[in-house]
Structure 1
Amino acid sequence: MTRHLAALATAAVLAVGLLAGCGGENSQTNCNLNSCTITFDRGVDASVSVLGVEAKLVNVQNSQATVEVAGQQVTVPVGQDAQSDGFNVSVQSITADNVVVEISAN
């Protein structure tokens, strides 16, 4: 019984880790089963591994962000979305400190 409870606890911790997002550099993630919201830090190399691909903040100019998803770059204005290699990329906000992007699987 103790082993069963330990196995369940381990599985729960792993599931929470998967839903919270994967590792990244200069970014924070919040994921569910088919989408991730990523907060990229500005002014640094910012990247993250989500949904089985790498996403990077490439450039920010005015109210547009260029994001690389799975090796393809897409430039998206705030409040809009675009398609990139089977993923939908939406820029939710751009501030002086960070850029919030949502990536979801199509």
Structure 2
Amino acid sequence: MFPSVRRALTVLPFALLPVAGVTACSSEGATTECTVNSCTITFNRGVDASASILGVKAELVSVQDDTVTLKVAGQQITVPRGEAEQAEGFDVSVQSITKDTVVVKISNNG
């Protein structure tokens, strides 16, 4: 095999990794924007909102003032806006809360 073809075949799987990370997300009542190690989820309020990201399910449970309760990989956590908590190997932070949406960033900390 020619060296340039071998090199191209070696690099190809790594070049496709970011695409696989972006397309591996799904949601209901939410939108997602993912990279290889993190996802930003915009949950719609007033509906059963959830997203499957980074191999786990994230659900919006409730919002009370500036505090959001989420279920991440089956673990329920409460996160104040602007702060971060950990759940099942992930860093979870609340970016914003409005009357219509809640924006959460979930990052793989492993």
Q: TM-score if structure 1 supplies the norm length?
A: 0.83
Q: How many residues align?
A: 95
In structure 2, C-alpha distance between the alignment counterparts of 1:21 and 1:99, rounded to whole Å: 21
Q: What are the Cα deviations for residues 16-72 of structure 1, in whole angstroms up to 9, with x where unaligned?
A: x64155111000000111000000000110000000000000000010000110000
% identical equivalent positions: 58
Alignment counterpart, residue 73 of structure 1, candidates 76, 85, 94: 76
In structure 2, C-alpha distance between the alignment counterparts of 1:58 and 1:32, rounded to whole Å: 24
Note the aligned Cα RMSD (angstroms): 1.9
The higher radius of gyration belongs to: 2
Which residue in the other structure is 1:22 paired with?
25
Unaligned runs of 5+ in 1: 1-7
Q: Map residues 48-67 of structure 1 onto 2, 5 A cutoff.
A: 48-67=51-70
In structure 2, C-alpha distance between the alignment counterparts of 1:92 and 1:52, rounded to whole Å: 21
User: Partner of 2:46: helix, strand, or coil?
Assistant: coil
**Mean alpha-carbon deviation: is it higher for 65-74 or for 20-29?**
20-29
Alignment counterpart, residue 31 of structure 1, candidates 29, 34, 45: 34
